[in-house]
């Protein structure tokens, strides 16, 4: 029965995934991290994000990093300054696997520091399983796709999480904007932490500045009157 199902799933997956990714998904199924993939949430250049079911019938997300189309140079630059990931080498597949492991670790660190992020559940090769943010029908929208009811409150929650990420988890998100924040019940949830860096990364300061600018610009367009230099000063202690 289970084998029949895997065989049926394999036929469906073949249209979408390469052989290695199918094996990766089968390993996640064998490890009982997921039972089946349901459907796609978003397809991008570097990753495809799916809804999946666990054997306990819980909805989860599987983010699959694409090996062929991801930007090797870009990834290598983010990983180079991070002592946790030495010996990157020139193998693209290995780099993508490392990237996936890196997103898992970054999300775990953030989650442990009580920041609103999807709880990471497991990873294997280029696939990351994490908590699904959304309802039975659909995934939660991006901040970019809604209008916050109380921008001031939303901003202050995001800033609090950015500070926790910085001071408690020791990370800078490095791609924070309205496009990497989901909103559920008016609460912001940061996603997409593959590129997040430790504070010792030579570009950490620049990335933090950019994150702050993006968020400040977005909320000023929502009617707030924030000064990004003042906000940035609140992060000064550790830089
Ligand atoms: N845990 C999650 N729950 C629900 N939707 C998610 C989750 N993670 C990602 N998504 C959706 O998938 C999209 C792409 O995910 P993201 O991690 O931002 O990857 P990338 O931007 O690198 O393609 C997001 O914009 C969001 O719509
Ligand atoms: Mg994203």
State whether 7 and 123 are in the same domain: yes
Any idea which residue has 């009617």 for tokens? 223
pLDDT in tens, 19-30: 889 999 999 999
Kindly give the number of the ligand 1 atom that is closest to the alpha carbon of 45.
Answer: 23
Residues 164 and 101 in one domain: no
> CA nearest 36: which of 67, 66, 65, 13?
13
The residue range of the domain holding 154 is 143-238
Closest to 132 in 3D by CA, of 177, 66, 191: 191
The ligand with the least distance to the CA atom of 47 is 1
In a domain, 30, yes or no: yes
pLDDT, one tens digit per residue, over 137-153 is: 999 999 999 999 999 99
DSSP run (H or E) holding 208: helix 204-221
Number of domains composing the chain: 2
Shared domain for 106 and 155, answered yes or no, is no
The answer to whether position 137 is within a domain reads no
Q: Are residues 102 and 148 in the same domain?
A: no
Contact present, 63 and 104 (Cβ < 8 Å): no
Residue 154, CA distances (Å) to 13, 139, 158 in order: 39, 19, 6
Reported as a single tens digit per residue, the pLDDT across 54-63 is: 999 999 999 9
Ligand nearest to the CA of 49: 1
CA–CA distances in Å: residue 119 to residues 111, 161, 183? 6, 15, 15
- Indicate the residue among 131, 166, 183 that finishes a domain: 131
Q: Does the reported pTM lie above 0.85?
A: yes
CA distance 204 to 210: 10
Please report whether residue 136 resides in a domain. no
Kindly state whether residues 127 and 152 are assigned to the same domain: no
Statement to judge: residues 124 and 37 lie in one domain: yes
Which residues line the pocket of ligand 1, CB cutoff 6 A? 41-42, 44, 46-47, 49, 61, 63, 118, 130-134, 139-140, 142, 180, 191-192
């Amino acid at each position: 029965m289970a084998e029949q199902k895997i065989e049926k799933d394999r036929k469906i997956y073949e249209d979408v995934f390469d052989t290695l990714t199918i094996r990766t998904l089968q390993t996640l199924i064998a490890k009982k991290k997921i039972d089946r993939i349901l459907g796609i949430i978003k397809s991008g250049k570097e990753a495809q994000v799916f809804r999946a079911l666990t054997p306990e019938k819980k909805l989860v997300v599987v983010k699959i990093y694409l090996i062929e189309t991801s930007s090797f140079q870009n990834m290598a630059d983010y990983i180079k300054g991070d002592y946790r990931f030495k010996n990157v080498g020139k193998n693209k597949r290995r780099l993508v696997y490392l990237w996936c492991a890196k997103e898992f670790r970054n999300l775990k660190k953030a989650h442990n520091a009580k920041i609103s992020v999807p709880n990471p559940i497991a990873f294997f090769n280029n696939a990351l399983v994490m908590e699904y943010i959304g309802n039975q029908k659909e995934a939660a929208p991006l901040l970019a796709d809604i209008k916050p009811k109380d921008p001031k409150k939303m901003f202050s929650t995001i800033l609090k999480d950015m500070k926790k990420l910085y001071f408690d988890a020791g990370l800078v998100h490095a791609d924070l904007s309205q496009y990497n924040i989901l909103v559920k019940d008016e609460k912001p949830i940061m996603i997409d932490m593959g590129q997040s860096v430790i504070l010792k990364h030579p570009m950490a300061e620049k990335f933090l500045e950019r994150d702050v600018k993006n968020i400040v610009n977005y909320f000023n367009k929502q009617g707030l009157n924030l000064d990004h230099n003042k906000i940035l000063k609140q992060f000064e202690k550790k830089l």
